[in-house]
A and B are shown apart, each in its own frame.
Chain A
Amino acid sequence: MGRTGLTAPPAEDRLAEPADLPDRSGLAEAAFRAELRAFLREHHPGPTPSERSVRLAFLRAWQATLTELGWVAPGWPRRWGGMGLPAALQAIYHREMALGRAPVPPTNAVGIVGPAVLRDGTDAQRERYLRPMLRADELWCQGFSEPEAGSDLAALRTRAVLDGEARDGVYRVTGRKIWSTNAPVAHRMLLLARTGTPESRSRGITCLVVDMSAPGVRVRPLRDMTGATVFAEVSLDDVVVPAADRIGAHDGGWRCARVTLGHERSTSLTAAALRYQRVVGDLVDLARRRGATGDPAVRQELARAVTGARLLELNGARVLGRVLGGRDPGPVSSVNRLQHAEFEQWLHELAVRLLGADGLLDAADPRLGTDGRWVRGFLRTRGSTIGAGTSEMQRNTIAEKVLGLPTDREES
């Protein structure tokens, strides 16, 4: 399977040593903010191209700039290429990046895959994987879901059979992974595979790093309902993975599916909330341009949109307040993601209603011009309540973990 947009130089080429990077973790808030703003003024690459063929290269170049100048992974330890920032500066980092309209990273390296390696990997693995991952020299995808294991991830069947010793043997991996975002362009996959009995559920799952160019790996791109090919089905046919590429213990990989790093989530969600305030501002402009702001029903909807975006911001700030005060994020943090997903979906439905008859058009129709973004978002956000845990699963988790209601499943 060929990959597109992969023209970056080898990872070793220009990597700065951690010691070379400025340590901003001790800066006062104002000084930190000023430095970040100055960095964005000087290095902001402009708006992210919507054209897919150039978009990835653009985002990787931006990621390289961030990494070289020490502006990546605010919550990661400095030793592994992060900024090692305290929570208050992380919050400012995300806020300023959002306000400055900095491009968003091309993969979830900082949010999910990296933290798994950081927490459960060996130093040798951290050394090898993390900095190329941060720079986006090496792109990663996740191999979690399977055709028969969606919401019930612990039912996954992809087999990994250990041949030799757990230390220096190899795993032979066979199975199918699906909904793997970025798989068509990825170099590596963080894979969850069954190493226990079929009944072992979450206790018999091992986490492996799969080289996407290894023999037996086949990537079949899947076209999603927006027409884009972002995720793929990946089949693994007797793929050999050295035991040295296992993250964590044999049969101990389940926790890699859930890892979040420190306060990354609570500090980054507030940035997403800020972005949504801007989107709501754009939505109000859309209503104005379409002459709809005199309609009392539309005014009600716009007020609801403003309310929704502000609530995301306020709830995020409440979580942040707890985190900065040294407490656990509390129940409000668990509703944040559900609220984000449902809000962005609803918001785009409203936008398409405001388009009136133009809602009949595809985003590509020239009549829509830049309003095509609403049509694209309208389709894209159907996935918001499905990906990374459906809203139904999130509600189950909230009900069980926060409210203490009894589970009706074997495990959660």
Chain B
Amino acid sequence: MTATAQTELAGVFDFGPEHNELRATVRRFLADRSPEAEVRRLMETDDGYDPTVWRQLASLGLVGLLVPEHHGGAGSGCVELQIVCEEMGRALLCAPFMSSAVLATSALLHAGDEAARARYLPGLADGSVIGTLAITEESGSWSAQDVATRAEADGRGGYTLTGQKLFVLDAVVASLVLVLARTERGPGLFAVAAGAPGLAREPMATLDATRKQARVTLDATPATLVGPDGGAAAGLAAALDVAAAALAAEQAGGARRVLEMAVEYAKVREQFGRPIGSYQAIKHKCADMLLEVESATSAAYAAGWAVDARTDEVGVLASLAKAYCSEAYYHCAAENIQVHGGVGFTWEHPAQLYFKRATSTQILLGSPTYHRELLARRLGI
């Protein structure tokens, strides 16, 4: 285990004025365009997002944050992405951001295929194309080695894919589905267009309605290879590390919001003639939540910093952050319900929305148990 230089690390968390401005801009935008009523309205729709808001996010440069400038994006780093995700997590924004701006974009960026980057990234960056990444299958695994979907060369330079993908984020509204499929050489990444023959997308009924998921069935569906045949594993792992850092930041943002809700309520709700926040049982819950929220924030941004600095600790810190932030968010969201008591258990109260988002993000990209095992392996344990 290497000990990172302390003073160097201290700079990791020293956000500059441009970071604070980005955060303030996103927070204002989301307060305006993604209030709770909007979240609840979009939860009930099939598409699960507002195309107008999506275009506005794109025109603010947020959708193309990770895309290099010469492909029409902002060319920003992972830390900037995390600031945006943290705010989106706070606001429970319903939009295909994680699927398109993070997963599909990162997968293309790390696939080692400049032609594919030039072809797809501009559309992803300006929001005209919604992309998603389809990895998981019946096994529920986010690991490339578990992929069973088959890709066969069609003899004309293309491929056809056959198999079934599950839990694919925003697949129903995506116009570009990046599919992990296996050739005889190993797992490869393939681009499938929305209208391709043999492609079927059915929404799954999800616990967390703020982020849509679908079953994607491929039956001899034509596809274009992205990156090397059978050589997708390394690039995919790098893309998933970025996505894990982004999702961890989203979790940290959600966790901080539920802590604020719990504390606000504990100050005003009175029982036995005094605020419930004056009882140690409630205080200690809130203190533990703060410890977790602060630690989750540290873990998430350390992973983002490692991505941007291209240190050899990216994998270690990404798995550490995903495992820790998942459990921290889940615990805080559950405690927020408990602190609210009966009202926290109602449909009308937002506590349940955060609890469900905490649950879904805990599982997406691999559970805490999966990431701890990955962490141990990455450390050579």
Measuring CB to CB, which residues of chain A are less than 8 angstroms from any residue of chain B?
29, 88, 91-92, 95, 99, 270, 274, 277, 280-281, 284, 287, 293, 296, 299-300, 302-304, 306-307, 310-311, 313-318, 320-322, 324-325, 331-332, 335, 338-339, 392, 394-396, 398-400, 402-408
Contact = CB atoms under 8 A, between A and B. Distances in A.
Interface of B: 1, 3-7, 9-14, 263, 266-267, 274-275, 277-280, 282-284, 286-288, 290-291, 294-295, 297-299, 302, 317, 320, 323-324, 369, 372-373, 375-376, 379, 381
A303 B10 contact: no
Given A99-B3, A317-B13, A405 B263 contact: yes
17 contacts: A270-B6, A299-B376, A299-B381, A300-B369, A306-B320, A310-B317, A318-B294, A321-B9, A338-B291, A392-B280, A395-B284, A395-B288, A403-B290, A404-B267, A405-B267, A405-B286, A408-B280
B1 A306 contact: yes
B295 to A, nearest CB: 5
A315 B294 contact: yes
Contact of A406 (B5, B267, B373): B267
A302 B297 CA distance: 22
A350 to B, nearest CB: 14
B324 A307 contact: yes
Given A293-B381, A303-B376, A317 B6 contact: yes
| Chain B interface main SS type | helix
Contacts of B291: 335, 338-339, 398
B323 to A, nearest CB: 7
| Chain A interface main SS type | helix
B6 A399 contact: no
A399 B375 contact: no
B13 A396 contact: no
Contacts of B3: 99, 274, 277, 313
Contacts of A320: 6-7, 9-10
B180 to A, nearest CB: 25
B274 to A, nearest CB: 7
A324 B381 contact: no
Contact of A321 (B4, B11, B373): B11
B298 A311 contact: yes
A106 B89 CA distance: 47
A307 B6 contact: no
B14 A325 contact: yes
Q: Which 5 A-B pairs have the closest CB atoms?
A: A399-B283, A303-B372, A317-B9, A395-B287, A314-B298
A92 B6 contact: yes
Contacts of B12: 317, 321
B258 to A, nearest CB: 13
A331 B294 contact: yes
A91 B10 contact: yes
Given A315-B298, A318-B298, 13 more contacts: A92-B7, A299-B381, A303-B376, A304-B372, A307-B299, A317-B6, A317-B9, A317-B12, A331-B290, A403-B290, A405-B277, A406-B274, A406-B278
A307 B323 contact: yes
Contacts of B320: 306-307, 310
Contacts of B282: 405
B318 to A, nearest CB: 12
B10 to A, nearest CB: 4
Given A277-B1, A303-B375, A395-B288, A406 B275 contact: yes
A321 B305 CA distance: 14
A284 B267 contact: no
A279 to B, nearest CB: 11
